[in-house]
Amino acid sequence: MDDQSMLLEAKRLIFSFMDHYPANGASLNVSQWLDHPTAYRLANLSQMLSPLSAVLNEEETATLADYLEAHAEYLISLFPNPAFYGHNHGFMDAMAVYSASIAMASHPKANDWRSAARERLSELFGEMFVDVGVSREESLGYHYYAARLMFEAECLSILNGDAQIPSFEERAKTALEFAALASLPDGTMPAIGDTRYAQETRSADKFYIDELTTPISRYILSDGKEGSRPPELTTYREAGYSIFRDDDLHIFFDFSATPGHTHGHNDDLSFTLYRDGKPVIVDPGGPFAYGSREQKEYFNTAHAHNVIVIDGADTKGKAEFISDGTEDRLSWVVARTVLDGVTHERTIITVDGSDVVIRDRLSSNVEHEYRLIFHLPPTANAVPRPETSVTNGDAKSIVFTSLDQAPQLLLGQTSPLRGWVTAKTLSKTEAPTLIYSAYGASKTIYSVIAPEGGKVVSFNDDQVQIGETILDLSEPEPKIMTGS
């Protein structure tokens, strides 16, 4: 098929669509006039006006221009809608209008579209990010997407002679540094929120230009050959994330509770753990899938995260940061949430950048069943016993809990779904899951996840002993009482 034939076929398809879905018939074709498809059509069809001019007469050109004008005006009418506050759809809507204003520069309303889109994009740079540059979507996958949208808007502005969007550089530096800190040593990211399991981070590599790469980002990207070593603990309080990094240890702690529409899951106080070159505790992930029963019934729920499930219910509270610190041989973070009348406070502590201690304090006036859940990677093998061994390649860990029980081990269960990860839409892979059970009104559960090596671990009231190290947790800040 030659160019002329392809243009004629494109014209036929476009005008057939316009006949079936007229701009004045939006109320009859709701799905076709949602903001997302409307923005997609405007961005693409406006770019096709120039090549299509070879096969359009004057009347057809005017008809198509009027159709696209209706798209632009409709999207602009959505700009103040609170449903699109800080929303990636709002960003795409504004980008579509901006692109159309350039492609249709001779249109009498093009300058108005351009001004409205620029103003909205500038607003969205502030709305879409908290802690200066962390996406409010509660998803690492969507953080990368939000950062990409920000870069595309800035590049499009500069290429078309507009001024830099205010605050771009500061937000871009923070967004990229957060992405670098969150990245795992194997080049993947924790599957927080609507993120594919084992999703790679390299899609962001092209954005780390000199002007936007902080010394911390440079250190991580160069495997420590350049830049400045990141701190052992970095907390983004407004976004609701803490990241522990110490050589090969990486913990991502999620206590996010940003308002508005998000791509987050029911994962209050969940965490992931990477050590000795391999993932140890993982988030099963859940790439966004419209209408997916499995996503709704499992991957989005508390059951698919490293949390405490109360009475078997899928609940999401409003998590909040309490405190953090780094002192002596310890780094720690404390966060809290309230779920169905139960106050759950979780403290995560690293000892010597190696041993990990988790304290879960649960407070209630009535009795509950508490299920402590740890998800393991698909490649891991676990031997469930009071001291559960977890092996993933050369990485070997032992999971201890103060419950002194062998956990239930689930793998690939189908009814209900339990023991899976999802690396792509509508697909899943078996992965072992450990479940510990406790009963009572108020309960404190300690867990230690340590490298295999013969250390004796014991629990006594507010003390945890790991080998010769005794950790005192009776005060708000953990302390080492004795140690090697």
3-state secondary structure of 18: helix
Q: Where are the beta strands (DSSP E) in 179-258?
A: 233-236, 241-246, 249-254
SS3 breakdown of the chain: % helix, strand, coil, rounded to 5?
35, 30, 35
| pLDDT for the residue numbered 27 | 55
CATH 2.70.98.70 residue ranges of the chain are: 235-482
For the question of whether the overall pTM of this predicted structure is more than 0.85, the answer is yes
| pLDDT for the residue numbered 31 | 81
Regions of the chain with pLDDT less than 70: 1, 25-29, 259-261, 482-484
Max Cα–Cα distance, the chain, nearest Å: 86
Give the span between the Cα atoms of 154 and 256, in whole angstroms. 28
| pLDDT for the residue numbered 287 | 85
Asked if 272 and 251 count as a contact pair (C-beta separation under 8 A), the reply is yes
| pLDDT for the residue numbered 233 | 99
* CA-based R_g, the chain, Å: 26
| pLDDT for the residue numbered 315 | 84
| pLDDT for the residue numbered 245 | 97
The helix (run of H) or strand (run of E) holding residue 463 is strand 463-466
Tell me, what amino acid is at 401? T
Tell me, what amino acid is at 358? I
Asked if 250 and 162 count as a contact pair (C-beta separation under 8 A), the reply is no
Q: What φ, ψ does residue 346 adopt, rounded to 5°?
A: -115, 130
| DSSP letter for each residue of 223-242 | TTSSS-PPPSEEEETTTTEE
Asked if 67 and 23 count as a contact pair (C-beta separation under 8 A), the reply is yes
Tell me, what amino acid is at 201? T
Tell me, what amino acid is at 151? F
Tallying the residues shown for the chain, one arrives at 484
| pLDDT for the residue numbered 45 | 97
Give residue 264's Cα distance to chain centre. 7
- For residues 186-216, one letter each, b for 16 or more C-beta atoms within 10 angstroms of the residue's C-beta and e for the rest, the string is eebbbbbbbbbbbbebeebeebbeeebbbeb
Q: What φ, ψ does residue 267 adopt, rounded to 5°?
A: -130, 35
The total of other beta-carbon atoms located within 10 Å of residue 377's CB is 22
Angle in degrees, 0-180, between the axes of helices 3-20 and 58-78, rounded to the nearest 10: 50
CATH node for 235-482? 2.70.98.70
| pLDDT for the residue numbered 290 | 72
| pLDDT for the residue numbered 260 | 59
Asked if 283 and 308 count as a contact pair (C-beta separation under 8 A), the reply is no
| pLDDT for the residue numbered 28 | 58
